[in-house]
Structure 1
Amino acid sequence: MEGVTSAAGKEAAAPVTAGKTMNVLVAIDDSDESFNALQWLLDKILKRTTVTTEEEDYNSIGKNNGTDDESVLRIIHVMEPFPHYVFPGVHAVFPTTSIIQSVNKAQEDNASAILAHAVRMCAERMVKAKTSVLEGDPKEMICDVAEQMHVDLIVMGSRGLGKIKRAFIGSVSDYVIHHAKCPVLVVKPPTETNSLT
């Protein structure tokens, strides 16, 4: 599949067919790469005829266990917690409550805008989508939520980090490929020869 990398040793995703339930998890952030991955999924794999959006919270995840009559796309956005201290030089600095509240509000607004854009993309393709905003380390949360939701496939965008950057800061997609308990599809950014069309 052009522009797509799947986890080694795991089966590639098959197109959705009528009567078959397939639960797909897309981890999305504000990057072009994650929206490219969602668009690729909508164009190449998921082709449905109904639109439903439903917000879930982390406590309700997994209660459905993928028993819907039709395939469902689950879109999550993971907010990293705001650090409550910084170490400039030798002394620790603790932000005020109002600063923490402002940052949290900005993160929530950003998450809402990201998911609204993703839901619009799904609605254009008549694809059922459920959204969730979670807080924690994105790498770990994606794997944990995928296991709880019993998803069949995780789809992510690749930021194309260089080898040195990946060695120092790690890659969310690399982590998920090695730790998820289901197949993982990593969609590479489009290039002139590798476009969405």
Structure 2
Amino acid sequence: MLFRHILVAYDGSKQAVKALEKAVGLVEACGGGTKLTVVHILNLAPIMTGDMLFAPTAAMETLAVERAEAVVAEAKLKTAPVVRATVEMHLGTPAKMVLSLAEEHGCDLIVLGSRGLGKLREFVLGSVSQHVVQYAKIPVLVVK
């Protein structure tokens, strides 16, 4: 068995779909003994830009939770063929939560999609995949 437990960060984006497909393929290639955990991280934290703070309204939070539930349902459909798969939703900062959950679950591989941000946006906003690659203590597969 190549991997015992794979964690996939899933947000429903095109890159995340590719990452999930790659992880499912890895599980199948490992002979079915590998566990797959798919996590969706809901980030409701206020956004600070310059001197301005943007906090989500109650209506925005409700929409975000509804979208998150739809993303989780979609991930469950995509992982249905995998016997040892679970899909979870957590609240927090995506990059930090992915690292924390990988450690908590005892994963030996993290798979996530590359967002393909431009250089300026990547510099200003940071990148979940970049942060995870930099700070992970286990191998990370970034799928483009």
* TM-score normalised by the chain length of structure 1: 0.63
Q: Is this contact kept in 2: 1:46–1:127, CA < 8 A?
A: no
Aligned-partner residue type, residue 34 of structure 1: A
Deviations 1:80-101 (A, max 9, x none): 1243x989x88x8977xxx42x
Q: Which has more strand, going by share of residues?
A: 2
Larger Rg: 1
- Superposition deviation, residue 178 in structure 1: 0.7
Question: Which structure 2 segments of 5+ residues have no match?
Answer: none
1:107 maps to 2:64: yes
Deviations 1:98-152 (A, max 9, x none): x42x3332222211111111111111x3342112111111111111111111111
Q: Tell me the equivalent position of 2:79.
A: 122
Q: Tell me the equivalent position of 2:18.
A: 36
Structure 1 residues 24 and 82, CA, compared in 2 at 3 Å: closer, same or farther?
same
Q: Which has more helix, going by share of residues?
A: 2
Q: Tell me the equivalent position of 1:46.
A: 27
1:76 maps to 2:39: yes
Greater RCO structure (CA 8 Å; 6+ sep): 1
Q: Which moved further from structure 2: 168-177 or 156-165?
A: 156-165
Deviations 1:11-52 (A, max 9, x none): xxxxxx3xx761110001131110111012223x111888xx
Q: Is this contact kept in 2: 1:49–1:126, CA < 8 A?
A: no
Aligned-partner residue type, residue 37 of structure 1: A
Q: Tell me the equivalent position of 2:121.
A: 165
- What fraction of aligned residue pairs are identical, expressed as a percent? 33
Number of residue equivalences: 142
* TM-score normalised by the chain length of structure 2: 0.83
Structure 1 residues 184 and 93, CA, compared in 2 at 3 Å: closer, same or farther?
closer
Q: Is this contact kept in 2: 1:76–1:134, CA < 8 A?
A: yes
Tell me which stretches of 4 or more aligned residues in structure 1 moved more than 3 Å. Answer: 92-95
Aligned-partner residue type, residue 46 of structure 1: V
User: In angstroms, what is the RMSD of aligned CA positions?
Assistant: 2.8
Structure 1 residues 127 and 175, CA, compared in 2 at 3 Å: closer, same or farther?
same
Aligned-partner residue type, residue 28 of structure 1: Y
Question: Which structure 1 segments of 5+ residues have no match?
Answer: 1-16, 51-69, 189-197
Cα separation, 1, equivalents of 2:11 and 2:60: 17
Aligned-partner residue type, residue 152 of structure 1: D
Structure 1 residues 126 and 75, CA, compared in 2 at 3 Å: closer, same or farther?
closer
